[in-house]
Amino acid sequence: MPSHFVGRRTVRTVSAVALALGTGISAPLLFAGTAGAAGSAASSAASSAASSATAAFSPSDHGILYTAAPGQTNKVTVTATKSTGKVSYLIDDAVSIDAGEGCSYPDSADHTKVSCSVETLESQDPYPTLLLNLGDGNDTVSYDNKGDETYYFARADLGAGNDTWKHVGGVDGNAVLGGTGDDNLTMGDYGTASGGDGKDTIHTKKGGIAQGGNQNDVIYADGEESAVEGGAGDDEIRGGAGRQTLNGDDGNDKIYGGDGDDFIYGGKGNDILYGNNGNDTIYGNSGDDELYGGPGQDVLSGGPGRNIVRQD
């Protein structure tokens, strides 16, 4: 089995190059197939009571499928562990859960908590072994990766509502789609987040990818080789420690580089770009932009428009 970082790095490198070239990506690559997962969820939930969430093994996805019932507000805590040939998830929610194939109740008197396991496949590419579909409602998810496993990861579609995702332990590696609503997504190392529609706040770390949506988002990037695309809207993007790729995309964006040698790309719109510390490369692209290099040996290019360019 390849190192669990190898396949993830391949996906992230492709996306980071797309950001650096200024070519928009409609969604992070890891979200391809989310709609299919939702379809599988509907079929596996057919025999479940409408008031219960469902957790069961999905043969078509070869993973554990967790699906909220319509109208639920979910407060989910996930603890992931890895053993030889198997990934296990302890899922705790504020609502009752219908435990299907591959899942059981650790305490028969408590149906708000299930333990699920799935055998892993030999695969050249990483794939999700846990798929969360939370639907409507203002949902919260807390995720603890005690196995530090990223080759087999979780993919979450938080759905409509003002949702919160928080990675609390271990290497991340998960893929989270915020959906409609003002979401707050806090990722760990190597996590991938897409805010979707709404005024979202996203925190990404080492090796992570964050993408805003159509409204005014705030995105924080901290850690080496993280990549950000603001999307449409007037976004605020702030870099941190390490070398990062920060792309405002459409809208009048404000981008602040961090302490590393950053690549900053304004995109369309009248952008304000700060390199801060490090040897940064800053492109304004179209629009009337302001570029400020900051300390270090920077490369500044305003692009078309009436620009202000200063190496301060």
Closest CA to 207 of 31, 9, 2: 9
Contact between 203 and 186 (Cβ < 8 Å) = yes
Quick one: which of 138, 142, 145, 118 has its CA closest to 130? 118
Interatomic CA distance for residues 200 and 194, integer angstroms: 9
The predicted-structure confidence for 41-92, as pLDDT tens digits, reads as follows 434 443 344 589 999 999 999 999 999 999 999 999 999 999 989 999 999 9
pLDDT band at 38 (very low <50, low <70, confident <90, very high): very low
Q: In angstroms, rounded to a whole number, what is the distance separating the alpha carbons of residues 57 and 264?
A: 43
Task: Provide the pLDDT confidence category of residue 31 given band limits of 50, 70 and 90.
Answer: low
The pTM (predicted TM-score) of the whole model is 0.85
Q: Of 170, 91, 169, which Cα lies nearest the Cα of 134? A: 91
Answer yes or no: is pLDDT of 14 > 50.
Answer: no
Cα 238 from Cα 231, distance rounded (Å): 15
Phi-psi category of residue 170: left, alpha or beta, with phi > 0 → left and psi -120 to 50 → alpha:
left
Q: Give tens-digit pLDDT for 119-172.
A: 999 888 899 999 999 999 999 999 999 987 788 999 999 999 999 999 999 999
Cα gap 53→181, rounded to integer Å: 21
Least reliable range by pLDDT among 48-62, 116-130, 235-249, 273-287: 48-62
Distance, CA of 73 to CA of 209 (rounded, Å): 27
CA gap 185, 211 in Å, rounded: 11
